Amino acid sequence: MGRKVLLIEDEPNIIEAIRFLLTREAWEVETHSDGTDAVEVIRAGKPDLVILDVMLPGKSGMDVLRDLREVPELAKLPVLMLTARGQVRDREEAEKAGVSRFMTKPFSNQEVLMAVRDLHAQATQS
C-alpha cells in the first residue's frame, strides 16, 4: 500500500500546515477544496487516506463522507475528519456516517501525525 493522502480542506493555512507536516514524513499529499465533486476526486485520485474538513463549499464534509461510504470500493477508505465545531452531536453524526477518526481544530502537529500513522497502519493490516 502506498502513502498517498488526499486533503479536502478549504482553509489555505491549514492546507499548507498539513501538507508540510505530511510531506516531511514522506507522504504524497494532494489537495482539493470543494465538497461538490469530492467523491469523484477521491475515486480518481485513489488515495490511501482522506483528511476531510466538515465545513466545505458546495457540499459538507458529512455529506461527502456519507456519499463515500456508499461507493463499494471506497467504503473502507480511512477518513480523518477535521472540524472547528467539536460538539458531541457533530462527532456522533460523523461516527454514524462511518468516519475512521474525528479531530477538532485547533489540533497539534503531533495529533495529526499520530492519527494519520494509526489509520494507515490499521488499513494496511486489514
Q: Residue 88: which CATH number?
A: 3.40.50.2300
Q: Is 80 exceeded by the pLDDT of residue 126?
A: no
- Is residue 59 in some structural domain? yes
Range(s) of the domain holding residue 102: 4-121
Non-local (6+) Cβ contacts of 92 within 8 A are: none
pTM, 2 dp: 0.95
- Is residue 126 in some structural domain? no
What residue type is 48 in one-letter code? D
| pLDDT digit string, tens, across residues 68-110 | 999 999 999 999 999 987 788 888 999 999 999 999 988 999 9
Mean pLDDT for the chain?
Answer: 94
Q: Is 60 exceeded by the pLDDT of residue 1?
A: no
- CA-CA distances (angstroms) from residue 58 to 13, 37, 41, 45, 106? 20, 8, 14, 19, 23
Instruction: Kindly report the length of the chain.
Output: 126
